[in-house]
Amino acid sequence: MTKPRDTVGMYEMLDALEAVIEASDPAKRERLAQTIDHYREDFPDEFHWASGVSAPLLLANVMMAIDASCRPEFAAKARSGTGVIERKQQAHECGR
């Protein structure tokens, strides 16, 4: 008989994501922070909507990007209808 595991909710998932980002290369964290800042500057209405309570598309894209980035075998095979993985691969190929 297997031991029942604790329920994993939104806060546990966010804690795990935060831990991974904090453990990553400082230069990559800075680049991510700058990218978020530029997104907010270039598309302020979209940013504020996307970081608000009614952001299902952004959440779906973020979840898929996170999942693909922690599973390299998934990123190589998956094709998303929203194009997140294709854009990630294109950015990698362009040296971004």
Mean pLDDT of the chain: 76
- 31 and 65 inside one domain: no
Helix (H), strand (E) at residue 87: helix 84-93
Is residue 13 scored above 80 in pLDDT?
Answer: yes
Q: How confident is the model at residue 15 (pLDDT cuts 50, 70, 90)?
A: confident
pLDDT digits (tens, 9 = 90+) for 42-85: 999 988 887 777 778 767 778 777 777 777 666 555 544 545 44
DSSP letters for 40-81: HHH-HHHHHHHTSS--HHHHHHHHHHHHHHT-HHHHHH---T
Range of the domain at 47: 10-54
Nearest of 68, 65, 42, 46 to residue 55 by alpha carbon: 46
Instruction: Report yes or no on 93 lying in a domain.
Output: yes
Copy the structure tokens of residue 51.
């970081």
Q: What is the pLDDT of residue 77?
A: 54
Instruction: Report yes or no on 65 lying in a domain.
Output: yes
- 65 and 93 inside one domain: yes
Tokens 């700058």 sit at which residue? 34
Copy the structure tokens of residue 6.
């604790």
- 35 and 61 inside one domain: no
42/57 Cα distance (integer angstroms): 19
Domain total for the chain? 2
Q: What percent of the chain has pLDDT over 70?
A: 73
6/3 Cα distance (integer angstroms): 10
pTM over 0.85: no
